[in-house]
Chain A
Amino acid sequence: MQSLLADKYDFDTRRKVTKTAEGWRPEIWAQFAELGLLAAPFSEELGGLGGGPIENMIVMEEFGRHLVVEPYVETVVIAGGFLREGGTAAQQEALIPGIVGGETVWAFAYAEPQGRYNLADLTTTAKKDGSGYTINGYKAVVLGAPWAQKLIVTVRTSGGQRDRDGVSVFIVDKSAAGVSTRDYPTVDGRRASEITFENVKVGADALIGAEGKGLPLVEKITDEAIAALSAEAIGCMKELNTATVEYCKTRKQFGVPIGKFQVLQHRMVDMFMAHEQSVSMTYMVNLKLGESDVERTKAAAGAKVQIGKAGRFVGQQAVQLHGGMGMTDELNVGHYFKRLTMIDTQFGNVDHQLKRYSEAA
């Protein structure tokens, strides 16, 4: 993986790719599949390599270092996670090979404009319709959706708008009648869609898990996504810290390398500690994903708070210490900073996760 990324995922190539109309490289995705990366966290019975969170973590840290835009989290961690944890044997057999082989790309349509980070705040509905369901509603900022063929969609099948009960999870083909998408770029060089569902018919076999009982599964899988994003974030921070220290050793002002100034030394020490603490929380959350809901929630919320705060600090200071150069599109520093900013937003920012942590404790 490291040599593939070193060869094919240098910063200039990545920068050019994110500016093309497609915004990603299907051929790189195919190479990830060939390398077995897309199979890593699945059991051998399902055609995987028998890994788990630790394998995800290793992959994601490298992806963070290279600012990989391809939808590993959406496809392997999230869609793969839903199928692994909640899918029937038939669903697993039908769909996991497509993930492992790199043929199917997935996106996770969960957020709604009014819902902010509350996974249960849903106005998109699925109503029983003969043997299947009819889905109506709207999903916001669905990352990676322009590249996807299939969607995991959270809906309300019963209960009030924010009830914990009554949440269900469906598999929907993006090409199904009634699904319409509008695509746009995101600030970290990725792509997302707004998705409208208008009388979209799905069969009973599109339901993942029990009807109306989907929220615990959604929470578990988003925590797995948070664990993966934490690993990505530590990859970003590591690169920023290395680049900043290197720059401060070579950039001379007032006749000396600016790294000789104590105020900047202490700043870089703080950046170093922010990264180390984030590494610790990333290990912790990835090791605790299998524990009780309360323990897992605390670990994931805690990790997200840590990487949110550390990512902001390291990102801002890396830009600051690079001076004007840090502001440019040409240098990778700003791109890591932008990605870290988006990671804080994804699945709930620091405030949201602090609240979640304190409510779980």
Chain B
Amino acid sequence: MDMRFSPEELAFRDEVREFIANNYPQELKGGARRSRGEMSKEDILRWHRILYKKGWIVPHWPVEYGGTGWTITQRYIWNEENARAETSPLLPFGLSMVGPVIYTFGNEEQKKRFLPGILSGDDWWCQGYSEPGSGSDLASLRTKAVRDGDHYIVNGGKTWTTLAQFADWMFCLVRTDPNVKAQEGISFLLIDMKTPGITVRPIITMDGAHEVNEVFLEDVKVPAENLIGEENKGWTYAKFLLGNERSGIAGVARSKKAIERLKNIANAELIDGAPLMKTDEFSRKVAELEIDLSALEVTELRTLAAESKGRGPGPEASILKIKGTEIQQRITELAVEAVGNYAMVQAPRMEATGNEFVPGPDYSTGTAQDYFNMRKTSIYGGSNEIQHNIIAKMVLGL
């Protein structure tokens, strides 16, 4: 694999870099470092809308549905440049999750109806997968949909639903046949969040943010035309989506930037008058992290190369999820170590008025909360234990 860029690729990189520099909203600078739980809906969407206008909102989609037709290297450059500029990450629910499901398994009508809103950002999507009783064992889900003429009547509840408080639509796994093997009775439904019978209740996480919710569904009437693909085949589409989610979760470019920031903190923090970064014990920990990340970067490129030859993200994608999240967590853990006493400060989050006193250097603000928040990454998207099971079973054949 050749990691050096060609002159054309370098020109592309300059173009992308310049576009971001000229178009990324100044007021959102540092957006990558802010918890989504503390941003307004419009702030979260602003970069999305700018990229949509430019035609760069879904580089990973086929051209016929709005993709850019970029090579894997160009997509890599694009991710790198966004990480470098610390742009706010785009929400994956429409762009990386339900969008590909709709253009892969949806009918023409559904593509016409839903893809434009996903691309423009006019429709905000949330993910109705987990339930209180169905986490790692997702296929045991119980939210049921009963066909009633040209509608489904949905009853049940979803949980850990990220940013459902802003959502217009939810893609939802529902049980349509309780009498067969768990995986064989699940369907994939698109539900308008304005439908009567839907209640969204906030869940506050330990870092003080409102990012996730419970969603209650009581006699929710969903038109049958909102069913994706075939009834009771939803598990296939769900797994396709989770495969995409796993590969997107590696976050290599963002982690690179985060390590750079960690080094800046460790260079600013003094230990007996000298930078912390100059101490053996800390610099070695950072070196270890960088080496882990380089390995993951190449592993991801190898996966992408296989994907471009037509092999979809296979069970190997679980490596990206496990290693990627371990690295993300480790970075925040070391940031807490680096910051020292000021890591103890609680940065104002959802209750913020803007007038709070927050002591310590800017880089210390919210360090511990980020560390607490990142513990979610080894839980969501299929816990890291489940990813180990996938590799054991699907790759090693155990």
- Do A and B come together as binding partners? yes
A interface with B by C-beta (< 8 Å): 111, 113-114, 116-118, 121, 140-141, 143, 161-162, 182-188, 192, 194, 252-255, 258, 261, 263-264, 312, 316, 319-320, 323-324, 326-330, 334-335, 337-338, 341-342, 345-346, 349, 351, 354-355
A140-B342 contact in complex given A116-B269, A323-B383, A334-B206, C-beta closer than 8 Å: yes
Q: Does A184 lie within 8 Å of B356, measured CB to CB?
A: yes
Of chain B, the residue at the smallest CB distance from A355 is B281
A-contacting 9-mer, from B24-32, B129-137, B230-238, B288-296:
B129-137
A-contacting 9-mer, from B85-93, B103-111, B239-247, B369-377:
B369-377
Which residues of the partner chain B approach A264 to less than 8 Å between Cβ atoms? Answer: 385
Bound CA–CA A40/B345 (angstroms): 31
| B298: interface (CB < 8 Å) | no
CB distance from A85 to the nearest CB of B (A): 24
Bound CA–CA A312/B212 (angstroms): 25
Sorted from nearest, which 4 A-B pairs have the closest CB atoms?
A334-B206, A253-B137, A185-B346, A329-B204
| B50: interface (CB < 8 Å) | no
Q: Does A187 lie within 8 Å of B369, measured CB to CB?
A: yes
Interface residues of B in 352-398 (CB under 8 A from A): 356-361, 368-369, 371-372, 375-376, 378-380, 383-385, 388
Which residues of the partner chain B approach A111 to less than 8 Å between Cβ atoms? Answer: 341
| B287: interface (CB < 8 Å) | no
Partner of A323, one of B135, B345, B369, B388: B135
Q: Does A327 lie within 8 Å of B375, measured CB to CB?
A: yes
Starting from the known contacts A116-B276, A187-B346, A345-B341, 8 additional A-B residue pairs (CB-CB under 8 Å) come to: A116-B340, A116-B341, A185-B346, A253-B134, A253-B136, A320-B375, A328-B206, A345-B336
Interface-central residue, B133, B340, B380, B383, by most chain A CB under 10 Å: B340
Bound CA–CA A354/B285 (angstroms): 15
Chain A contact residues, majority secondary structure:
mixed
What total of chain B residues lie within 8 Å of the partner, measured CB to CB?
52
Q: Does A330 lie within 8 Å of B203, measured CB to CB?
A: yes
Bound CA–CA A254/B379 (angstroms): 17
Partner of B206, one of A113, A141, A143, A335: A335
B interface with A by C-beta (< 8 Å): 130, 133-137, 140, 159-160, 203-206, 208, 212, 269-273, 276, 281-282, 333, 336-337, 340-346, 356-361, 368-369, 371-372, 375-376, 378-380, 383-385, 388
Bound CA–CA A324/B356 (angstroms): 30
- A-B residue pairs in contact (CB < 8 Å), sample of 30: A111-B341, A117-B341, A121-B273, A141-B342, A162-B273, A182-B359, A184-B345, A184-B357, A185-B345, A185-B346, A187-B344, A187-B369, A192-B345, A194-B359, A253-B134, A254-B136, A254-B137, A254-B140, A258-B136, A263-B388, A320-B378, A324-B159, A324-B380, A327-B205, A329-B205, A329-B206, A334-B205, A334-B372, A351-B281, A355-B281
Q: Does A328 lie within 8 Å of B203, measured CB to CB?
A: yes
Which residues of the partner chain B approach A319 to less than 8 Å between Cβ atoms? Answer: 375, 379
Q: Does A187 lie within 8 Å of B368, measured CB to CB?
A: yes
A329-B208 contact in complex given A113-B360, A184-B356, C-beta closer than 8 Å: yes
What total count of A-B pairs have CB within 8 Å? 142
Which residues of the partner chain B approach A349 to less than 8 Å between Cβ atoms? Answer: 337, 340
Partner of A253, one of B140, B358, B368, B376: B140
Bound CA–CA A185/B357 (angstroms): 10
Q: Does A326 lie within 8 Å of B136, measured CB to CB?
A: no
Q: Does A184 lie within 8 Å of B358, measured CB to CB?
A: yes
Partner of A116, one of B130, B270, B359, B375: B270
Interface-central residue, A183, A192, A324, A346, by most chain B CB under 10 Å: A324
Q: Does A263 lie within 8 Å of B337, measured CB to CB?
A: no
Of chain B, the residue at the smallest CB distance from A354 is B281
Q: Does A186 lie within 8 Å of B344, measured CB to CB?
A: yes
A192-B360 contact in complex given A118-B272, A253-B135, A330-B204, C-beta closer than 8 Å: no
Q: Does A316 lie within 8 Å of B205, measured CB to CB?
A: no
Q: Does B345 lie within 8 Å of A187, measured CB to CB?
A: yes
